[in-house]
A and B are shown apart, each in its own frame.
Chain A
Amino acid sequence: MRCDEAEILLQALIDGELDAGHAREVEAHVATCAKCAALLKDYREMSKAVADAGARYTAPPELRRRIEASLPVQRPSRRAVLRGFALGSAVSAIAATGLVAIVLRNDDEARIQSEIVSAHLRSLQAGHLTDVLSTDQHTVKPWFNGRLDVAPPVVDLTAQGFTLVGGRLDYVDARALGAVVYRRRSHVINLFVAQTTNTGHRAATIETIQGFNIRRWSERGLNFWAVSDLAMDELADFGEKFESAMRSG
């Protein structure tokens, strides 16, 4: 490999965009070329320095206010009311859960998926992402005990490139459900878990709603929705890794 080729491919190596075969080729070149080795080291440090520097900007509050004001007036949604109600007391949350059908009907699925996306979006607002913040599955999993009528499986996928961030209690369709939060680069993945009476396996489907990809599947009496702005193939990859880790665990 020539240096000019290597320098282009170095970028992809740094950014994690190179497939394994090319990565080996570049690494082999770098191992024998002091110039390219120095560049790789400098670029990696530069990348980290830029990320650490906090060079992002925050939109002025006045701009945010102007944009919000330009949108039509929002009425308080039914969900917001239910959410407040459910959060108000654990007892009333359980009562509310008992009042709605446990099994999600097919004709409700589109609506549920849209609510799942809204829940994902709410979680991205500052400070809403996690109730329990931990990269340790043995901390996140017990946290759900007593908060939910299900035990969401919490799987460590760090080695597969998906970092566990924490867990959260969320409300969709007026029911409490568990959200396990993962991160891939800067992308957040919310994995929503709810109980279902159907204990069979249901193969995964992927849909795009409002620009977010949702991978939905069922296993061992649980419904799963993985939501993210990750590309479809990466989210599919996440789902497959999660399913296989769950089976082997």
Chain B
Amino acid sequence: MPVKISDNNPDRARRFRDAALPYLDDVYTLARYLLRDASDAEDAVQECYLRALKHFESYRGPAIKPWLFAILRNVCHAEYARRAHAPAGNVEDLPDSAEQVPVWQEAQETPEAQIVRRWDADTVRRLIAALAEPFRETFVLREIQNLSYREIADVAEVPVGTVMSRLARARAMLRSAWLAEQEQPK
């Protein structure tokens, strides 16, 4: 993707660089989890930084990381739309039932089982990647990016209650996936 920023204000660019570049790995990590593709993630991150610089002058908080995430999320949704063949990641496209299934029904009867001993990075990445949107997004923002519920709600543009129910679903699904994996002989 060719890049050209026409920005005639080097001071603003310097402030932007100081403010936004320390979060490059965070933004890239989120892009990898949202798009599940390394090369698409690179393009999305680059586009995200271009847009962020363009809007930096009017930016007034609350915190730079969630702000970058919100921009990245918009970029990724454009990418979802482009991938006509791939399952849509748009929250609005999901059937309502996906959010309304009580999480309790997902839980399994293994009260004494120690479900997690040690996960390696590949296992975690694979299990998270298997989660459906928007549960994957919420889970990554919380467990990988350490955002507060309020920040997640702002990034994903949903109420805090929705963040909590999505997180409950994500954790229940992840737990089930892990248990299922353990039951399979190698």
- Which A residues fall within an 8 A CB radius of B? 3-4, 7-12, 15, 17, 34-35, 37-39, 42-43, 45-60, 63-64, 66-75, 77, 117-118, 121-122, 124-125, 185-187, 208, 210-213, 229-232
**Shortest distance from the beta carbon of B18 to any chain A beta carbon, whole Å:** 5
- Which B residues fall within an 8 A CB radius of A? 3-5, 7-10, 13-19, 21-22, 24-29, 32, 41-42, 45-46, 49-50, 53, 59-65, 67, 102-104, 107, 109-112, 114-121, 123-125, 128, 142-144, 146, 148-151, 164-165, 167-168, 171-172, 174-175, 178
B7 near A72 with CB under 8 A, answer yes
| Beyond known contacts A55-B124, A57-B28, A59-B24: 9 more, CB 8 A cutoff | A7-B107, A11-B164, A35-B109, A38-B111, A46-B174, A67-B21, A69-B3, A71-B53, A186-B146
| C-alpha gap A179/B83 in the complex (Å) | 48
Nearest A residue to B31, CB-CB? A57
**Shortest distance from the beta carbon of B128 to any chain A beta carbon, whole Å:** 7
A66 near B3 with CB under 8 A, answer yes
Pick the residue among A58, A70, A75 that contacts B28 (CB under 8 A).
Answer: A58
Given contacts A63-B45, A210-B19, contact A45 B115 (CB under 8 A): yes
Interface of chain B, helix or strand or loop or mixed?
Answer: helix
B64 near A39 with CB under 8 A, answer no
Given contacts A43-B171, A67-B46, A231-B148, contact A34 B10 (CB under 8 A): no
Pick the residue among A37, A74, A117 that contacts B10 (CB under 8 A).
Answer: A74
Given contacts A12-B164, A66-B3, A211-B64, contact A35 B107 (CB under 8 A): yes
Given contacts A39-B107, A57-B29, A58-B28, contact A11 B64 (CB under 8 A): no
B17 near A208 with CB under 8 A, answer no
Which 6 pairs of residues, A with B, have the shortest CB-CB distance? A38-B111, A211-B64, A59-B28, A186-B146, A55-B124, A208-B61
